[in-house]
Structure 1
Amino acid sequence: MAGGGIAPTKTNLLKLKNELEFARLGYDLLDQKRNILINELLNLIDQTVDYQEKVDTALAEAYSSYQSAALAMGKRRTVSIASAVNISSSIKISERRIMGVSLPQVETSYQEHPPYFSPLDTSFWIDISISRFKTALELMGRLAELKISIMRLANEVKKTIRKVNALEKIAIPDLQETVRFISSRLEENERDMIILMKMVKNRLEKKKR
């Protein structure tokens, strides 16, 4: 129902106009936030597709080089050498913020303790395998970062869209309707008051005659 039980006074009208202006400002800000988040989300999706291909390629190349080493030296010798490799890895997770949304940043680093094995009777494919698996792990860390960021951004986009729709389709129209109703009632009251004042004036003038 128009008016929502609010008394049609100038004070209430001013208050509702301020609320309407605030709601419109909130809508504009949320609409901008939605657009920024969607653009960032689309950008991350493109990057994720690219990195997924990079990870698939890197893993395929890493396993291929390991198989080449096994063919060159024998599986048992390759496993023995691989177990002697002394490389520790660490993953540092920091964060960046986009429109208040916390997104992870993954940084992979390695600490190596060579030599791992004697170079005698060792295939060069072992060194290539080590390098390729390190590259693959770094790419997987970046891919995980992108996928988590996409999930968080997508969730925030959904919440922002719900807020934008609520303002656009419910809150702002309701406020506009109430403002129109109260303005109409005040104008009507003013007209009634003018008519009443004229009647009083006429009656007073008649009494003076």
Structure 2
Amino acid sequence: MASKTVNPTRMELTRLKKKLKTATRGHKLLKDKRDELMKQFLDLVRVNKVLRENVEEKIKKANKQFALASASMSEEILKVAIMAPKQEVYLDVKSRNAMSVTIPVFETKTKTADSNDVYSYGYAFTSAELDDSVKELSDILPDLLKLAECEKSCQLMASEIEKTRRRVNALEHVMIPEMQRNIKYIVMKLDENERSTQIRLMKVKDMVLEDKHHYKDK
């Protein structure tokens, strides 16, 4: 049923046709955007799954080494050994655009270039298991940051997909059908008015002929 507020005029008909054309084109573009976002989102989800499994496995291994170190060293020596970290990591957060979604890009650099410069203690009173644990945790950091970047990207893309899906549905099931109904209603009204006008003109013609010549046009 057409909206009660629609004005059945040719000007309104032209306006609605232009609006329908724009809405139809926008609907197609939004569907394409949604499909491409879904493709990129699924690719990110697969990457995220691999990264998470890798990080969890490395953390599990590091924790195992740390448990062995805790068992072979006194609590006081262990606390002193890990009290003050030697290496420092600087995080630079940038961004990139993916289908109008601004997703983060994490870049890091360390205080020193040497990747082994992570031991803040001497080796005289510490165990090899502690060395392995510290090194494992140091090696995890790039993958951990990559995982954080990937998970945040998935979250942002999922939110954009949901918004795009709602817009597509609004256009497809509400706005476009309503405009089509209004256009159909205006066309019917204009046709009805045109028929009424023709009938009135024919009656006027008959009345004029009858008045002038005293007969009806056959």
**TM-score, normalisation: structure 2:** 0.81
Mapping of residues 90-109 of structure 1, within 5 Å: 90-109=90-109
Question: Could you list the runs of 5+ residues in structure 2 that have no partner in the other structure?
Answer: 214-218
**SS of residue paired to 1:4:** coil
By how many angstroms is 1:196 displaced?
A: 2.0
Query: What residue in structure 1 maps to residue 52 of structure 2?
Result: 52
Pick from 174, 185, 191: which aligns with 2:189?
185
Query: What residue in structure 1 maps to residue 175 of structure 2?
Result: 171
Question: Quick check: 1:3–1:182 contact (8 Å CA) kept in 2?
Answer: no
Question: Could you list the runs of 5+ residues in structure 1 that have no partner in the other structure?
Answer: none
Task: Output the CA distance in 1 between the equivalents of 2:11 and 2:46.
Answer: 53
The alignment's C-alpha RMSD in Å is 2.7
What number of residue pairs does the alignment pair up? 209
How has the CA–CA distance of structure 1 residues 78 and 187 changed in structure 2, closer, same or farther, with 3 Å as cutoff? same
**SS of residue paired to 2:88:** strand
Task: Output the CA distance in 1 between the equivalents of 2:152 and 2:63.
Answer: 26
Higher helix share: 1
Of stretches 63-72 and 9-18 in structure 1, the one that deviates more from structure 2 is 63-72
Give the % identical residues.
Answer: 29
Query: What residue in structure 2 maps to residue 10 of structure 1?
Result: 10
**SS of residue paired to 1:156:** helix
Specify the code of the residue in structure 1 equivalent to 2:45: I
**SS of residue paired to 1:87:** coil
By how many angstroms is 1:144 displaced?
A: 1.3
Specify the code of the residue in structure 2 equivalent to 1:87: Q
How has the CA–CA distance of structure 1 residues 125 and 182 changed in structure 2, closer, same or farther, with 3 Å as cutoff? same
Query: What residue in structure 2 maps to residue 207 of structure 1?
Result: 211
Query: What residue in structure 2 maps to residue 31 of structure 1?
Result: 31
**TM-score, normalisation: structure 1:** 0.84
Task: Output the CA distance in 2 between the equivalents of 1:16 and 1:134.
Answer: 63
How has the CA–CA distance of structure 1 residues 204 and 145 changed in structure 2, closer, same or farther, with 3 Å as cutoff? same
**SS of residue paired to 1:95:** strand
